[in-house]
Amino acid sequence: MARQSRRTRRSGVMSTKTQNTIGQEGCEGARQLRHDWSVDEILTILTSPLSELVDQAQSVHRKWHEEGTVQLASLLSIKTGACPEDCKYCPQSAHYAKDTGLEKEALLDVDTVLASARAAKDAGATRFCMGAAWREVREGEEFNRVLEMVSGVREMGMEACVTLGMLDQSQADRLAGAGLTAYNHNLDTSPEFYSEIVSTRGYQDRIDTISRVREAGITVCSGGIIGMGESERDRAAMLQVLANMNPHPESVPVNALVPMPGTPLEAREPVEPEEMVRMIATARIVMPRSRVRLSAGRKALPKEAQIACLKAGANSIFYGEKLLTTPNPDTAQDLAMIREAGLRVLEANSKEG
């Protein structure tokens, strides 16, 4: 994948077509949001000379966001393992439990979750995300417990986000009634490559869930994962689906695959740092208003690469030593990195918070 990326990427002086695409669609796009991107346009941006790409992303970022700030978001697994989905990257899938050794854990109680949220807030996080390894939301005591968690987090003055799998409209409405800020439902990859990664849930199922979240008045958090064997065109196609949503997702997490032992993708090569920078910068250009989140896979990225991602348009990181079941840099390292980059932590009362 890395060798293919370098072969397809231009070098030297930016071509006229690339200048037009990035210059007009990037900078002009910062003044007028677009929802009619083609895959070819986005691919041209993604594969353009790196310095030009980052420069344009920075220009777009300055027009739409408070410069120099990074939102800290904390992510907690509130129900772990035994998920019936067969996502090839995920150690929580019941399909791979024999090989991953990850045991099922019951849904946490409300007090335990809210204690974690308070600790995250005390450490500087303004957004608290809760993930349950479910294929879909089911009515009953467990869902009622999640609604209590959402209400409790909101009462602390934090943004509350959950990822619970598919849900129907009445469930989305109930989450909205509890005060939910955002619902995470990633696309994972392009429509064309999706069947190589997941077979137990269709791509349209994901789009339908996002539509129900939007209908309920909850903001959308949706992104994907790179490094699963997809092509650069697949990456551009995933961004196209997101960028052509109207409105754009308010939150776009960009993840690098963390190859987990026992999963079908355990032998994948690590994502090259430049690939993450390119995805972050391209997401920033085509979705100017969105908060782009540098998400899973950071622990394998050199500090300099993470800073480059922040400079290229990422304005949030997930904060804490674990993201659901995957490792993450510790909090002291992250705060030191943010200071070294000349950035500051976004506070709860910020105009962007």
List active site positions.
Answer: 83, 87, 90, 129, 161, 221, 293
* DSSP annotation of 193: T
For the record, the structure tokens of 226 come out as 């790179």
For the record, the structure tokens of 167 come out as 């849900």
- Neighbouring C-alpha atoms within 13 Å toward the C-beta of 195: 1
Helix-helix angle 141-155:110-122, to 10 degrees: 30
For the record, the structure tokens of 107 come out as 């849904």
Q: Residue 176 burial (CB < 10 Å; 0-12/13-18/19+)? A: middle
User: What are φ and ψ of residue 151, in 5° steps?
Assistant: -60, -40
Query: Which of these, 68, 69, 96, 61, lies nearest to 82 by C-alpha position?
Result: 96
Residue 103 CA, chain-centre distance (Å), reads: 25
State the Cα angle at 292 between 148 and 193, rounded to 5°: 95
Q: Is the peptide bond before 247 cis (omega within 30 degrees of 0)?
A: yes
